[in-house]
Amino acid sequence: MVFVEKPFKWKLVVNKIGMETNQTRLCKCCGDRLRGRIDKMYCDDRCRNQFHNKEKKRPGLTELARSIQQQLMKNRTILQRQLKGRKACMIDRDRLLREGFSFDLITHRNIGKNGKETRYCYEFGYRCGLGNRVELGYRGGGAGVFR
């Protein structure tokens, strides 16, 4: 048998008469030979995680931009979890703070006809009400729930 290298780290096994007999796949991370399932792409969990962590670190983003993006996604997740599939609800400000919500970071804001400011973290909005209460709402592609 003769091994012939192909692009993209694929190796093709060719027998003496030049016919394809088998394909040997290599790990996308370390390049080791894969054994097992035919659709396997990584040799183990360590390689899979290492490959995806490299992909996650997009070039050009500074560490500050990366940390802001992480906090925005955390804020979005907290708002989504608190709404629990509802369009709107009221919640204590302290509860959001305990979960790690940052009121300083928003994606955009809207000032309604009544002069009230609604702050948004992607499609989820919030409006600080009287006292310690915060009104949450889901915008979801249509008109907002805040009036």
Q: How far apart are CA 101 and CA 124, in angstroms?
A: 13
Q: How far apart are CA 106 and CA 70, in angstroms?
A: 12
**pLDDT tens digits along 24-60:** 889 998 989 998 888 999 999 999 999 888 777 766 6
pTM of the model: 0.59
Segment 97-120 shows an average pLDDT of: 93
Alpha-carbon radius of gyration of the chain: 25
**pLDDT tens digits along 73-96:** 999 999 999 999 889 999 999 999
Between these two residues, 64 and 17, which has the higher pLDDT value?
64
Measured in whole angstroms, the distance separating CA 13 from the mean position of its chain's CA atoms is 38
Q: What are phi and psi of 69, to 5 degrees?
A: -60, -40
Q: What number of H helices and E strands is found in the chain?
A: 3, 8
Measured in whole angstroms, the distance separating CA 70 from the mean position of its chain's CA atoms is 9
